[in-house]
């Protein structure tokens, strides 16, 4: 099954064609959390939090300068297009937006991005990867969720596979992972699957985050597909 691969792309928040189509306003500015506190709660150092803050400021002011990242700004940072619809983008935005209020504040941004830090324990990465596929937030990964994610990821990369091939990939995945044979993958089964297929976590680490103080600002997350029929 194809897996999501996080690749580093140049930040494209300043696309004049996109920004020219928006009306700017100056709403209240969100009061950010203390950077030292955020460093103590994540795997970033205080220095790294400061550099992440610079990236956050660029994203959060790309359309409306309010200290928050809305869906359009998030899509603009990923694709250079604030209107592009994507299941992948929607799901990642939901996972960043832990307060579920439709915007991402700096605390949410740092905490979620920290999961991709090279120093983050594998157990946290396993849990996050599970949530990515648990589209319906039921605590299980079901057949239709896997199929929907595969189709969305293929669409992101402009790839087309016949439905029967997609179904065979999903079936093979469940044959390997669903050892309880109840038609869904729970966290226990997911951990077993990851143990057998470590490549499932390859998208859960961004090496450049440990060098962010020297690499900034030439990166942003963007999904891509690496086709591998053995896992997703």
| Domain extent at residue 164 | 122-203
198, 149: one domain:
yes
Residue 75 has pLDDT above 60, yes or no: yes
61, 95: one domain:
yes
pTM of the entire predicted model: 0.76
The answer to which of 43-47, 89-93, 188-192 has the lowest mean pLDDT is 89-93
- Overall domain count for the chain: 2
What three-state secondary structure class fits 6?
Answer: coil
DSSP assignment of 67-120 equals S-B-HHHHHHHHHS-TT---HHHHHHHHHH-TT-SSSB-HHHHHHHHHTTSTTS
DSSP assignment of 25-52 equals ---PPPPPPPHHHHHHHSS--HHHHHHH
114 and 44 Cβ atoms separated by less than 8 Å: yes
148-170 tens-digit pLDDT: 999 988 887 888 899 999 999 99
Predicted local confidence at residue 2, as pLDDT: 38
For residue 62, is it within any domain?
A: yes
Picking from 116, 141, 173, the residue at the C-terminal end of a domain is 116
For residue 83, is it within any domain?
A: yes
**Tell me, what CATH number does 139's domain have?**
1.10.238.10
Nearest to 49 by CA among 34, 62, 67: 34
Predicted local confidence at residue 17, as pLDDT: 42
Q: Which two tokens stand for residue 87?
A: 């299941």
């Amino acid at each position: 099954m194809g897996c999501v691969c996080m690749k580093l792309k140049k930040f494209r928040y300043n696309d004049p064609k996109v920004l020219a189509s928006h009306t700017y306003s100056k709403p209240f500015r969100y009061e950010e959390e203390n950077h030292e506190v955020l460093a103590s709660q994540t795997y970033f150092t205080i220095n790294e939090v400061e550099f992440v803050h610079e990236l956050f400021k660029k994203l959060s002011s790309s359309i409306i300068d309010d200290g928050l990242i809305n869906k359009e700004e998030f899509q603009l940072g990923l694709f250079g297009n604030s209107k592009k619809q994507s299941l992948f983008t929607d799901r990642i935005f939901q996972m960043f937006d832990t307060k579920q209020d439709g915007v991402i504040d700096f605390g949410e941004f740092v905490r979620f991005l920290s999961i991709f830090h090279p120093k983050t324990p594998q157990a946290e990465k396993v849990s996050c990867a599970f949530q990515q596929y648990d589209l319906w937030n039921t605590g299980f990964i079901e057949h239709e969720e896997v199929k929907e994610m595969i189709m969305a990821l293929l669409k992101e990369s402009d790839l087309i596979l016949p439905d029967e091939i997609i179904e065979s990939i999903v079936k093979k995945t469940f044959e390997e992972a669903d050892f309880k044979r109840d038609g869904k993958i729970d966290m226990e089964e997911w951990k077993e699957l990851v143990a057998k297929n470590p490549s499932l976590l390859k998208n859960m680490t961004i090496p450049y985050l440990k060098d962010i103080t020297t690499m900034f600002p030439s990166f942003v997350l963007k999904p891509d597909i690496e086709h591998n029929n053995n896992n997703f």
